[in-house]
Amino acid sequence: MYDIVTYEEAAALPAEGLVAYAQLLDVLQLSAWNGPSLNPDNPDGPARLWSFARGLITYLILEDQQRVDVIDVV
């Protein structure tokens, strides 16, 4: 299970997006590697994407620290 470091600006999401974002954070704790790679030329790389509701997050998996850092929320 990964610790999640979230993106502060996510608090500005509309209510429906905020609920979906919170649910996605729960999923990332258990299966962060299931998101597609940010870089198709490096499919095993730690920079990942995941879509939710009408949004998209970019995150970085820090395996050695068992942590996921959310970098951007759109």
Q: Domains for the chain: give ranges and CATH numbers.
A: 3-73 (3.30.2310)
DSSP state of 38: S
| pLDDT value, residue 26 | 92
Residue 1 pLDDT more than 90? no
* Residue that has been written with the tokens 């999401």 in this structure: 13
At residue 30, the 3 state secondary structure works out as helix
| pLDDT value, residue 37 | 97
Mean pLDDT of 42-56: 93
| pLDDT value, residue 36 | 97
**Neighbouring C-beta atoms of residue 22, cutoff 10 Å:** 13
